[in-house]
Amino acid sequence: MFKIARVGLHHFEEPCLSGKRGSGTIFFSGCNLRCVFCQNFEISHGGKGLEVSEDELIYCMEYLQDLGAHNINLVTPSNYTVLLESALKRAKQTVKFPVVWNSSGYETVQNLKKIEGLVDVYLPDFKYSDDVLAWEYSHAKGYYEVAKKAIAEMRRQRPNDVFDNDGIMQEGVIVRHLVLPDALENTRGVLNAIAEIDKDMFVSLMGQYFPTPAVKDHIKLSRRLTAEEYEEATDMFFEAGLKNGFSQELDSATEEYVPDFDLDLLKNILNK
Ligand code: SF4
């Protein structure tokens, strides 16, 4: 069984994923990281969600396709990789839009090989080059090496970034990095590592961090990013030799962008 918390169109992904009609997101419950600052805390840590079968999951993908989604965007899917291998093989018979793998970046090459050819666009996070921060903030051991190898494997599987006539990504890789307060050297290490894999790879440099109640008293995480910090991170992007990227307005750092995980909506979609 799968456990999911939300199925719906999402308009706040990168423009080449959201387009005009929205990205068709399916949020999976549980996450293989435990970030203290997580903005989707109730599903990633709390496990909120509804159990669904493979048939029901495929129905959700078809539902999103019928709504006009540009793609099927699997959010935090890594815990379900083995099950998704089977579901995606079946879904490919009816779902004709690109499948996006929107993950924490903390996954094994072995698991990623299981979904080779089934995922069209990889959208991993690359959160840390500093393993001390990775442990302190996300309880992830050896995050840097694991994520670097995972992203290199994603790029091996999808070496070309392909867009349709409307600018919607059909295949490729976009690496997301959330710039954290007081952690610019961590950002520099991440950007340099991405450049070592492929300088042409798209990078989404995210400045939208805002403190959730869980970190309101944290010595470093209790504030938003400053404009100077984000500007410095942008300079680091170019210093690393990267060429393709997305940046963000800092005033987009707001809770409005956090989706509502209302299970009644999900039950209505599934007639449960
Ligand atoms: S990887 Fe993302 S979804 Fe998972 S716990 Fe961290 S911030 Fe939350």
Q: Give residue limits of the domains in the chain.
A: 2-270
| Ligand 1 centroid to residue 156 C-alpha, Å | 24
- Choose which residue among 36, 104, 128, 135 to substitute to test ligand 1 binding: the one with the highest number of ligand atoms within 8 A of its C-beta: 104
- Choose which residue among 26, 48, 74, 76 to substitute to test ligand 1 binding: the one with the highest number of ligand atoms within 8 A of its C-beta: 76
Ligand 1: which residues within 6 Å by Cβ?
31, 33-35, 38, 40, 44, 76, 104, 125, 138
- What does the pLDDT look like over 72-123, one tens digit per residue? 999 999 999 999 999 999 999 999 999 999 999 999 999 999 999 999 999 9
Minimum CA distance residue for ligand 1 atom 1 = 104
Per-residue pLDDT, 251: 66
| Ligand 1 centroid to residue 270 C-alpha, Å | 26
Mean pLDDT value of segment 136-150: 97
Assign 3-class secondary structure to the chain. CEEEEEEEEECCCCHHHHCCCCEEEEEECCCCCCCCCCCCHHHHCCCCCEEECHHHHHHHHHHHHHHCCCCEEEECCHHHHHHHHHHHHHHCCCCCCCEEEECCCCCCHHHHHHCCCCCCEECCECCCCCHHHHHHHHCCCCHHHHHHHHHHHHHHHCCCCEECCCCCEEEEEEEEEECCCCCHHHHHHHHHHHHHHCCCCEEEEECCCCCCHHHCCCCCCCCCCCHHHHHHHHHHHHHCCCCCEECCCHHHCCHHHCCCCCHHHHHHHHCC
| Ligand 1 centroid to residue 158 C-alpha, Å | 24
- What does the pLDDT look like over 166-188, one tens digit per residue? 999 999 999 999 999 999 999 99
| Ligand 1 centroid to residue 75 C-alpha, Å | 10
Per-residue pLDDT, 260: 80
Choosing among 3.20.20.70, 3.90.78.10, 2.60.120.200, 1.20.140.10, the CATH entry for 2-270 is 3.20.20.70
- What does the pLDDT look like over 34-50, one tens digit per residue? 999 999 888 988 889 99
Minimum CA distance residue for ligand 1 atom 7 = 38
